[in-house]
Structure 1
Amino acid sequence: MDYALGIEGDEPEPSADEGAADAEPGPLTARLQRVAGLVARGLSNRKIAEDLVLSLRTVEGPVDHILTKLGFTSRAQIATWAARQSG
């Protein structure tokens, strides 16, 4: 998963207690997280649009925004990120 996310090195994962009080909000809004979760389920933009009752173009924007905001280049990276976020 580290390769897919573009993470290099052997840095240890922070523990659940580490920095809990100083935790920053996630990099994505709730809506973008929902779209990322649908990408992680393997849905195409068309299927995501149908699921959220939106136009295809309305879904393409958020998917592109997720890629840009997280610095990713593929939907597989979004899926891996979303899987890690959900535990």
Structure 2
Amino acid sequence: MADTTVKIDSETRDRFAAIAAARGQSVRSYLSELAIEEENQISLGRATAAFREAISRPGLLEVFDREFGGLPETQHSSRAA
């Protein structure tokens, strides 16, 4: 992968350097990891929005229960003994 230059102010550069150092990483490594984490957060946000939209459809949960027998019981039931 070819190197490139990104122009940022010195305060931001110093903040990145301090964070990277605290994590025992180079700035290059830290920024690479940060970019991947941010991409993952964007993907998770999209998936969450799609899931929320899907489960908000009328009748969806009833169809799920009918087809798959509902959700399994958990050991930590909120029912009174």
| TM-score, normalisation: structure 1 | 0.30
Q: Quick one: higher RCO (CA 8 Å, sep 6+), 1 or 2?
A: 1
Larger radius of gyration: 2
Which structure: greater helix fraction? Answer: 2
| TM-score, normalisation: structure 2 | 0.32
